[in-house]
Structure 1
Amino acid sequence: MSTAACESKITFIDGNKGILRYRGYNIADLVNSGKSFIEIVYLLFYGIFPDVHDLQNFMLQISQEYMPPKIVSDVIKSFPQNSHPMAILIACFSVLASYYHDQKYDENELRHTRLAISQIAGIVAMIYRHITNQDFIQADTELSYSENFIHMMFDISSYKFTKVVSKALDIIFILHADHEQNASTATVRLTGSAGANLFACLASGTATLWGPAHGGANEAVINMLMEIEKPSNVKQFVQKVKDRNKGIRLMGFGHRVYKNYDPRAKIMCKVCKEVLDDLKLSDPLLEIALELENIALQDSYFIERNLYPNVDFYSGIVLKAVGIPIKMFTTLFALARTSGWSAQWY
């Protein structure tokens, strides 16, 4: 039995059947429809899809706010370059909570939620540039949301940019946009219930997401795959996992909610193969992951315990292939989940 503080109209999950829906739409249908992350954000906020005019207006408003106030960039620069990106992100949200504290807004326009979606793209990119000792890059408002994020991270002029990569990021953002009343979402709602402004709530949610039991799973999967080293070692590793005395966990398998295959994992596996093929990369981690999935799904030990791959099992391989450093993984999770947090807060 589980409990929740509310019944959400935003996201529906049937863990036994492996179903995830945003505002009534099946997650696989949303991805296969080709809709952008920004269209999904609009759906989460308003409960409907935008028409052409509304989408253009929504995207225009978002693109005009990519760059956060100067005080935010100053705070980022004040951190040592070896700081953890999530610590910097929490500080940035705290600064925005102060910066926008006294501003009023029309609730029908959801101004603050749009600001959050706009500025976190710039903030995460700036954090990456800072910890890698590179200058910040100005936003390009002619690009899509994901394309601009890649541009602000890596500079499109020097990065091997492809439509497949930008679409893959869009899908990762969509798959992580919202979920059940997990620790970070519950934290955002609880903080908001006390009357705190959105950015203060996002700071608290980000702090919760930073916890390794919540937002660090895809990083843990990459570390596990690197530890296995090669596909031929998978069977031996699986035996260690099954030996309780070893204390070794199979990362990226199982989910507190899903007692079936996480619907997001199937999508992520397909995206992973497409990205590696597009970039002409042969990542041994994917070979290890596929072998691990194949063995685990045929083993009664994992079948009886309803342990199936979850969304984190393949997402880390995609992010690594795109060029995202492992310690930045959770900031991209926060970027995507800011849409769901903001919708829940409102």
Structure 2
Amino acid sequence: MAAQQDAGQWVLRRVEGTAQEVPLGSMKGQLGPDVVDMRTLYRRAGVFSYDPGFANTASCMSAITYIDGEAGILLHRGYPIEQLCQKASFPEVAWLLSHGELPDARQKARFEHGLMAEAHLHEQIRNFFNGFRRDSHPMAMLCGTLAGLSSFYGNQGADQRHRITSEEREMSTLRLVAKMPTLAAWVYRYSRGLPLIYPRPGLSYAENCLHMLFSMPEAAWEVNPVLARAFERILILHADHGQNVSTSTVRTVGATGVNPFACVAAGVAALWGPAHGGANEAVLDMLDEIGTVDGIPDFMNRVRNQEDGTRLMGFGHRVYRNLDPRAGLMRNICHEVLAELGMDHDPRLELAMKLEETALNDEYFISRRLYPNVDFYSGIILRAMGIPSSMFTVFFAVARTAGWVAQWKEMLESRAGISRPRALYVGPDRRDVPAS
């Protein structure tokens, strides 16, 4: 539902010798607080707002994802993440994000068939990898090869944004979601010097991800249904999360009319940063640093005293001021995977659980509302499955592509204008160049 203009007025008070009241409109979304309509602020009042990081600014209208950070609620198109994680497949969630409704049986079958048909990469993409060092960061290879796909699917040039047909948008959405697992797997295989594996018909989306990662040409590969379903739920939990930095980047870059593969490559670049996509890897580094359960008290004291910048990784979230609804789901997945692999007494899991228990019962962390987030357990799961930590963010990107393309598609259909934030200038006043 589009935001509605409210009859009430918000008032800005500006002083120019005398006090002046400038009425501003308010808006109301389907859920959430009232919003001040700032679009006419500068024209009517001669001032603009200052909001570093845009934490209090809505940059767009969106019907895709709703987050209530205070209550710990995450909805995709109105469906709670808990229900989607339990009852839906990743392709169903990807369809939901892009189309607004869960697919019926016919739509699901056609979409899954399309994902399989488009999962292959152009053979020339193999040549791209030869230009990378084997020890290149996987995100560098993913970002570069993904942008390179623009040259193979370039029918949507930068001057054609308003002429992209709905069929072309649908095809771009399908191709990006379909090709990302293959591209991610090839990044991993190339870095290890392993033969590149192609998608296999008859496997689900999540199963093909694992097949292309771990199978070998000379041996039959058997699907472990517990691990495949766990991996699928990890993808679902990372599929979209509102206007985070990578999603905002995709929308911002996409609004210029850039090819969608290059647009999503920009999202990958934003996700690459450790402050965004690398948090689960940082959790494992922290657990390795603590070492054993006996090391927790000393580590927690260092966190409380802010010694050497020591931080409790995997706790707290910029949006959630309550429990991250994805964290408990990820915790359950972690137990299932480790039990399946016979690692349910793994020392790292024991350490993570004791660390969680300690933090949730410590007034220092309670008062700061630092609860476990989705990253706290995901790294343990992925490492237990045999995925190296350098690949964690790559598979975050595979999952988030479903949200990126949905947001890109929504942005195009809304005919959103390009972004042009202002800056609060704090440099020198006007001055003249000295005479020579």
Alpha-carbon displacement from aligned partner over 1:67-103 (angstroms, at most 9, x marks no partner): 1112222112321110000000111111111221126
Maintained 8 Å contact 1:105/1:111: no
1:325 matched to 2:378? The reply is no
Q: What is the match of residue 68 of structure 2?
A: 14
Instruction: Find 1:199's aligned residue among 255, 261, 272.
Output: 261
Q: How does 1:284-299 map to 2 (within 5 A)?
A: 284-299=347-362
Q: What is the match of residue 311 of structure 1?
A: 374
Greater mean alpha carbon deviation, residues 6-15 or residues 267-276: 6-15
Greater mean alpha carbon deviation, residues 72-81 or residues 17-26: 72-81
Maintained 8 Å contact 1:89/1:124: yes
Instruction: Find 1:79's aligned residue among 132, 142, 146.
Output: 132
Give the drift of 1:106: 4.3
Give the drift of 1:7: 2.8
Q: Secondary structure at the match of 2:124?
A: helix
User: What is the one-letter code of the residue matched to 2:81?
Assistant: I
Q: What is the match of residue 23 of structure 1?
A: 77
1:335 matched to 2:389? The reply is no
Q: What is the match of residue 248 of structure 2?
A: 186
Distance in 1 of aligned mates of 2:122 and 2:59:
35
1:70 matched to 2:123? The reply is yes
Instruction: Find 1:172's aligned residue among 219, 234, 237.
Output: 234
Greater mean alpha carbon deviation, residues 200-209 or residues 279-288: 279-288
Give the drift of 1:155: 0.8
Q: Secondary structure at the match of 2:66?
A: strand
Radius of gyration: which is bigger? 2
Q: How does 1:29-48 map to 2 (within 5 A)?
A: 29-33=83-87, 35-48=88-101
Instruction: Find 1:107's aligned residue among 137, 161, 166.
Output: 166
User: What is the one-letter code of the residue matched to 2:191?
Assistant: I
Instruction: Find 2:339's aligned residue among 277, 286, 302.
Output: 277
Q: Secondary structure at the match of 1:266?
A: helix
Give the drift of 1:200: 1.0
Q: Secondary structure at the match of 1:2?
A: coil
Compare the two structures and name the one with the higher strand fraction. 2
Q: Unpaired segments of 5 or more residues in structure 1?
A: none
How many corresponding residue pairs?
345
Q: How does 1:235-274 map to 2 (within 5 A)?
A: 235-274=297-336
Instruction: Find 2:190's aligned residue among 125, 130, 146.
Output: 130
Q: What is the match of residue 176 of structure 2?
A: 116
Distance in 1 of aligned mates of 2:214 and 2:190:
12
Q: Secondary structure at the match of 1:250?
A: coil
Alpha-carbon displacement from aligned partner over 1:257-281 (angstroms, at most 9, x marks no partner): 0000100000000000000001111
Q: How does 1:202-221 map to 2 (within 5 A)?
A: 202-221=264-283
Maintained 8 Å contact 1:316/1:329: yes
Give the drift of 1:105: 6.6
Distance in 2 of aligned mates of 1:234 and 1:308:
17
Alpha-carbon displacement from aligned partner over 1:205-253 (angstroms, at most 9, x marks no partner): 1111101111100000011011111112112211111012332000000
Distance in 2 of aligned mates of 1:284 and 1:4:
44
Alpha-carbon displacement from aligned partner over 1:121-140 (angstroms, at most 9, x marks no partner): 10000111000110011211
Distance in 2 of aligned mates of 1:234 and 1:180:
34
Instruction: Find 1:344's aligned residue among 407, 413, 421.
Output: 407
Give the TM-score normalised by structure 2: 0.77
Maintained 8 Å contact 1:297/1:308: yes
Distance in 2 of aligned mates of 1:102 and 1:28:
38
Distance in 1 of aligned mates of 2:223 and 2:185:
16
Maintained 8 Å contact 1:192/1:345: yes
Instruction: Find 2:205's aligned residue among 136, 145, 151.
Output: 145
Give the TM-score normalised by structure 1: 0.97
Maintained 8 Å contact 1:65/1:118: yes
**Bigger RCO of structures 1 and 2 (CA < 8 A, at least 6 apart):** 1
User: What is the one-letter code of the residue matched to 1:4?
Assistant: A
Distance in 1 of aligned mates of 2:289 and 2:120:
39
Alpha-carbon displacement from aligned partner over 1:138-188 (angstroms, at most 9, x marks no partner): 211210000011111101756674111001110110000000211111110
Distance in 1 of aligned mates of 2:64 and 2:180:
21
User: What is the one-letter code of the residue matched to 1:323?
Assistant: G
User: What is the one-letter code of the residue matched to 1:327?
Assistant: S
Maintained 8 Å contact 1:120/1:335: yes
